[in-house]
Amino acid sequence: MPTRISDAFRSVVIQQWLEGIAPDTIAANNDLSGGGVTNFINEWKQRLGSSVEDDLRQLTTTLKKLALLLLNAR
């Protein structure tokens, strides 16, 4: 019987994806397969039921870039 993955662990994977981290990197950092990461993301998208997830990811990556620009401007 497969081990159940905790919701907290799934949340970490989703958060990393929203931060713009590549799925292969997320997989390596969390000892998962690339397919496992993709499955977590797809399941989350289905539960969300809209295109909001892509907008959230874009917003997060844009904010991250902006923060780096601000830090470099100091």
For 7-58, write each residue's pLDDT tens digit: 888 989 998 998 889 999 999 999 999 999 999 999 888 887 666 777 787 8
Rounded to the nearest 5 degrees, what angle is found at the Cα of 59, between the Cα atoms of 30 and 44?
50
* The predicted structure's pLDDT at residue 22: 94
For the chain, the structural domain boundaries read: 7-73
pLDDT of residue 64: 86
- Output the pLDDT for position 2: 60
DSSP 3-state of 1:
coil
Choice between 35 and 1, residue whose per-residue pLDDT is larger: 35
Residue 47, judged by CB atoms within 10 A of its CB (0-12, 13-18, 19+), counts as: exposed
